[in-house]
Every structure is written in structure tokens, then in C-alpha cells.
Amino acid sequence: MHWIDPTSLPETRGKVTRFLLNSHGELDGLVIGSRQVHFPPHLSKKLARHVALGDVVRVRGVKPRTADMIAAVSLTTPGGVLILDEGPHPNGEKHHKPHVERKAMEACGEVVLSLFGPKGELRGALLDDGTSLRMPPHAAAELAAYLTPGAHVHAWGEGVKNRHGRTIEVAEIAESVDAPQAA
């Protein structure tokens, strides 16, 4: 998205309540209020250096037609640092995905937010304990009922955990047997 002038885009302000990780343990999003903000993982290190939970940030980006989320083009920190998406290779530098050891993980909880890719494609869900569940768009489309806020799910797969959060690449998902039942 390096070709878009961020000053021409609407600005959204909000407090960072969660960071979102991709399957390599890199930051690829955050939650402000109850809205997902997606940004490319090549900005992960810069965001980790300049943004903390609780910070009020300003985001400029585009909103896909099909999802209530923002694909960020720029983010301004409380200290005035501008983090701009100039594409993954602005100076000829390659973005290398870190090698992380994924471990078998499971999570159980209530979905508080559906998670989307930058073009608005459903990609997973955020659970009430902060765990991100991720899957390819074709699988997410088939399993949309499990990824909708209010759903109670149990998921298994391989994942990563670091100081910013926890993400599971879902291999299996089911309705949680501990889910509250309607009276």
C-alpha cells in the first residue's frame, strides 16, 4: 500500500487493547476499541518499539467493504512517531519471516472479535482470553459460525506465544461443551 497518500485517508483514534500475532509470532494487527487494525508484518518490529498496550494511537487506512476493520497505511504513536507502510522492500531490504518453534496448543473461550485479512477476508477470531485463532480464508469461510462474536469454541492446532500474545493456527475447532446454554 505504499502508493496511497495516508493524509487523504480518514483517521481513527483509539486505545490499543490487544496486539494480534501472525503464525510467525510477528505483530500483524492490534485492536483499538472493538475494531481490528491490520498492518503488514514487516512493520512488526517498529510497532513493538513504539506502541504499548493502553496507548492512544491514530490510524489512517482503508476499510474493506465486507469487514468492520481497518487495513492501516499509517499509524501515529502518542509520542508523534509516524509508522508508515511503504511496502515490504522500500530500501531493497527483504522481510524475513522469523523462524519460530510452533507448539501444540489449544484454547477454549468466547469469540469477542472476528479477525480479517487486509482485503476483508475472514481469517479467524479473537477469544476473550486474548488468543488469536487463525486459518486460511477458505477454511474460515466454511467455519464462519465458529468465528462470530458470541460463539463459544474449543480449538486445537500449532501456535506461538510471546510477550505480545498468543496465536494458534487452527487444525480443529468445535463448539465448546462448556458454552452457556440458553434457558
> What's the grid cell of residue 90?
522500500
Buried b (16+ CB within 10 A) or exposed e, 3-26: eeebeebeebebebebbbbbbbbb
For 103-175, CATH gives 2.40.50.140
Q: CATH fold of 6-84, please? A: OB fold (Dihydrolipoamide Acetyltransferase, E2P) (2.40.50)
pLDDT tens string, the chain, 183 residues long: the values are: 457 889 999 999 999 999 999 989 999 999 998 999 999 999 999 999 999 999 999 999 999 999 999 999 999 999 999 999 987 665 555 556 666 788 999 999 999 999 999 999 999 999 999 999 999 999 999 999 999 999 999 999 999 999 999 999 999 999 987 666 654
The SS3 of residue 46 is helix
| CA 107/CA 121 separation, integer angstroms | 23
What is the reported pTM? 0.88
Cell numbers placing 78: 502518542
What are the domain boundaries of the chain? 6-84, 103-175
